Amino acid sequence: MIAPYKWLCDYVDIDVSPAELEKKLIMTGTQVEGIREPAEAFKDVAVGKIISIKKHPDADKLSVCQVDLGCETLQIVCGASNIFEGALVPAARIGAKLPSGITINKSKLRGVYSYGMLCSGAELGLSSSDYPGADADGILIISEDYAPGTPFSEVLGLSGAVLEIEVGANRPDCLSVIGIARECAAALGKDIKLPAVSFRECGGDISDYVKVRVSDPDLCERYCARAVTNVKIGPSPKWLRDRLNSAGVRAINNIVDITNFVMLETGQPMHAFDHADIRGGEIIVRRARENETITTLDGKVRALTSEMLLICDTQGPIGIAGIMGGENSGIKPETKTVIFESARFNQGNTRRASRALGLQTESAMRFSKGVDITGCKAALERALSLVEELGCGDVVSGEIDIVSAALPQRKICVSAPDINKKLGVSLKPEEMASLLRRAFIKTEARGDTLECEIPGFRGDISVMEDIAEEVARMHGYDNIPLTRMTGEIRRGVVPAQEKSLDKIRSLLTGLGYSECVTYSFASASDLDKLGLPRDDMRRDMLEIMNPLGEEQKYMRTSALPEMLKVIAGNLNRKNAGLMLFETGRVYLPSGSELPDERQYVCIAHYGDEALFELKGAVENLFDSFGIRKAKFEAGGPVYFHPYRKAAISAGQTVLGEIGEIHPDVRAAYGISGRLSAAVLDLRGLLDCADETVRFEPLPKFPSVQRDIALIVDSGVPAGSVLDCAAENAGSYLESVSLFDVYSGAQLGGGKKSLAFSVVLRAKDRTLTDEEANAARDRIVEAAGRLFGAKLRE
């Protein structure tokens, strides 16, 4: 909402600067976004009077003008042919920067100096709605009388500051200059002076001109109409054009300008129909029929739906209620009789219709946020008063006022002690009443009770808390004390799952991995790039009805695509040492209303040797969670290298997957060089976690160790051989650890040697060599049986 400072001063005796006013407004709850000086755009442009015009000695099309600018006379060379001696024109001085982007310099045109420029409407960025005749070719001729040297901004009515205000959804009354003026008055503790409304009626009766029938009262809560005849369409007087200009609205003609002015002033949108275009003499307010269309004032054909409300005559639509009038009923130069409409249309319905049609007019915006149902008639009368003031028509007697909705109950009683308790202050009831009266809520304090009369424009106030807020903002938020909360002393609880995330983050950063955060979206092509088969479960993704684009159409079911993009992005920037992780969620459709949001840890490690470093990090993670039974088994999803991947589980619980990204997948994401990744399921991790620390007394007896090297086929997984060793070592087993893998010519092709140490220890004695050898023999025997393993001599 744009609120010109000067306009506000019409209603409130503002005795502070715009900047000071801004501060006061902010502290009483009006969000001032900024203060502009629209006149700045025309700095260094003034009204110039052409004293003389001489032909340029060396150029047929140029003339040399002497221009009076009040304090000085400048020689300006001009190429336009519409200028004449005595004309008032906009003259730009040297240094001026015009809205069209032109900067004025001293120049020499065919040997004659020019000390400025006479401007056309286009050069000033103006059209005829800003100033009559501004669209015409040639220099803009100023039609009113101004003293030479007057700033040109005054011609446009652009003088003074303009406050830009963001109006909250709760305060649609502030979508009007009077609404803002009330806030100014409240902030400054001043009274408000509303414009006097008076007009004479010329007789007759509106029913002679038009009847109104509201067929859909649920969508048209109030409909007021008045007729004005003997209309003389013409331009509005300068003060009115200036007011509109200063609020950023273009002047059109007196009748239309009146409707716009009243809307800006009071917040009540108005419409004017040419009576001659109302066929059958009847206005019918009804829902559109399926497939009905209307051509709106802007010349566009609009397809309507049955939920949109229309203003119709007996033949068809003449306007979309509250949004835009029809082309067939607009005000024309020859319009003789006008029907003014001032209504309240259903808020939600207008909003939906406006959105559906893509028509966001000033009127639609106000109806969508809610207009004051009690204010329709007063606004209409203000328009009639202006008709009389402008002398542009005669007001026909009689009015139409169809009220379909209940007018709101406007008195509420609240308890002053409740308000004190809510705010943590101790104001006397009478103090509160006086603060509320400042906010235009007529209030009487009766004992501890406040009787508040809520004005119609404050539809946002209905309960004690609303009144409390009014008291608070008038009292000043600054004046509410700081009071410490009391209560049980306790430390807050961080949920176990989050604590685990903390631990994972701390461990992984310690191991050199940096944390990423990526979007939760995915596209079908992401999954194509992963090479997932058509029937893969991850293809079943939650679809967003209104996505930003194809790339963000779904909620991700895999952590990898975003991680791969991050790696690719970093490689593009030649970043080295890529070790990254993310703790995020995948969103798996679950059959119920909401998906299963599974938390994962995705770790990526770039480099040729990364796979086992990554596996080490994963094992570190398992260690820190006390997961001792994690199994890595060859296999896993298709996006991994077929021979460099493993599925990770513990018992029946799936922990995740690890592998090197398949070369095709890397290529699809533009990643050259090996990349390894692991994805762990947090829930699985927590299910298997055992973070209890158990103390074991230090051993009193020495251990015995047997180193065993077994030769097996190279396809035999080392993990299986080690498991076999552990299972067959007997009850004294302390550890099995691999220390060498060898494959070479001397073993023969297709063979490898696995060398590992088996450590045995008894708690109560020193084990004998025989016992250790027996364990070794059992291992060798079992491995021979299961894997065809032979002891390497």
Partner 1 sequence: MGIDLEDLKERAAAEIKSCVSLSSLEELRVRYAGKKSVLSAALRGMKDIPESERPAYGKKVNEIRDFLTAAIGEKERELKSSGKEERLKSEAADLTLPGKKKPVGALHPITRTYYEIRDIFVSMGFDVKDGPEVELDKYNFEMLNIPKDHPARDMQDTFYISEKVLLRTHTSPVQIRTMLREKPPIRMICPGRVYRSDDPDATHSPVFHQIEGLVVAEGISFAHLKSTLDLFLKELYGEETKTKFRPGHFPFTEPSAEVDATCAKCGGKGCGVCKGTGMIEVLGCGMVHPQVLRVCGIDPQIYSGFAFGMGLDRVTSIKYGITDIRLFFENDVRFLTQFR
Nearer to partner 1, 521 or 600 (CB): 521
The correct pick among 61, 110, 355, 785 for binding partner 1 (CB under 8 A) is 355
- The closest of 208, 207, 252, 215 to 233, measured between CA atoms, is 252
Q: Cα separations (Å) of 342 from 243, 270, 351? A: 21, 5, 18
The answer to whether 728 and 778 are in contact (CB under 8 A) is: yes
Range 18-47, binding partner 1 (CB under 8 A): 26-29, 31
Contact between 587 and partner 1 by CB under 8 A: the answer reads yes
Q: How does DSSP assign 59-85, residue by residue?
A: -TT-EEEEEE-SS-EEEEEE--SS--T
Q: How does DSSP assign 310-375, residue by residue?
A: EEE-SSSEEEETTTEEBGGG---TT---EEEEEEEE-HHHHHHHHHHHT---HHHHHHHH---GGG
Contact between 694 and partner 1 by CB under 8 A: the answer reads no
Q: Find the part of the chain contacting partner 1 (CB under 8 A) among 87-95, 432-440, 591-599, 672-680.
A: 591-599
State the maximum Cα–Cα separation within the chain, in Å, rounded to a whole number.
128
Q: Cα separations (Å) of 3 from 243, 248, 264, 458? A: 10, 10, 9, 19
Structure tokens at 231: 């209309």
The correct pick among 115, 131, 521, 632 for binding partner 1 (CB under 8 A) is 521
For 780, list phi and psi in degrees, rounded to 5. -65, -40
Nearer to partner 1, 46 or 578 (CB): 578
The correct pick among 95, 391, 408, 569 for binding partner 1 (CB under 8 A) is 569
Contact between 612 and partner 1 by CB under 8 A: the answer reads no
Write down the residue that tokens 């094992």 correspond to: 619
The correct pick among 473, 641, 645, 674 for binding partner 1 (CB under 8 A) is 473
Contact between 368 and partner 1 by CB under 8 A: the answer reads yes
The answer to whether 117 and 91 are in contact (CB under 8 A) is: yes
Contact between 496 and partner 1 by CB under 8 A: the answer reads no
- Residue 162 beta carbon to partner 1: minimum distance, rounded to whole angstroms: 18
The correct pick among 129, 404, 552, 735 for binding partner 1 (CB under 8 A) is 552
- Residue 262 beta carbon to partner 1: minimum distance, rounded to whole angstroms: 24
Q: Find the part of the chain contacting partner 1 (CB under 8 A) among 41-49, 208-216, 475-483, 676-684.
A: 475-483
- Residue 219 beta carbon to partner 1: minimum distance, rounded to whole angstroms: 13
For 663, list phi and psi in degrees, rounded to 5. -55, -35
Contact between 503 and partner 1 by CB under 8 A: the answer reads no
The answer to whether 211 and 339 are in contact (CB under 8 A) is: no
Contact between 591 and partner 1 by CB under 8 A: the answer reads no
Contact between 573 and partner 1 by CB under 8 A: the answer reads yes
- Residue 596 beta carbon to partner 1: minimum distance, rounded to whole angstroms: 9
- Residue 666 beta carbon to partner 1: minimum distance, rounded to whole angstroms: 18
Nearer to partner 1, 12 or 423 (CB): 423
Nearer to partner 1, 493 or 693 (CB): 493
Contact between 189 and partner 1 by CB under 8 A: the answer reads no
Nearer to partner 1, 347 or 385 (CB): 347
Report angle CA 22, 25, 27 to the nearest 5 degrees: 110
Range 448-467, binding partner 1 (CB under 8 A): 463-466
Q: Find the part of the chain contacting partner 1 (CB under 8 A) among 215-223, 308-316, 516-524, 675-683.
A: 516-524
Contact between 714 and partner 1 by CB under 8 A: the answer reads no
* CA 667 centroid distance within chain: 36
Contact between 490 and partner 1 by CB under 8 A: the answer reads yes
For 67, list phi and psi in degrees, rounded to 5. -120, 125
Contact between 480 and partner 1 by CB under 8 A: the answer reads yes
- The closest of 363, 368, 362 to 350, measured between CA atoms, is 368
Checking phi first, is residue 687 left (phi over 0); if not, alpha (psi -120 to 50) or beta?
alpha
The DSSP bridge pattern shows strands 211-214 and 282-287 to be: parallel
**Using CA atoms, how far apart are residues 398 and 391, in angstroms rounded to an integer?**
19
Nearer to partner 1, 513 or 787 (CB): 513
The correct pick among 71, 489, 693, 745 for binding partner 1 (CB under 8 A) is 489
Contact between 348 and partner 1 by CB under 8 A: the answer reads yes
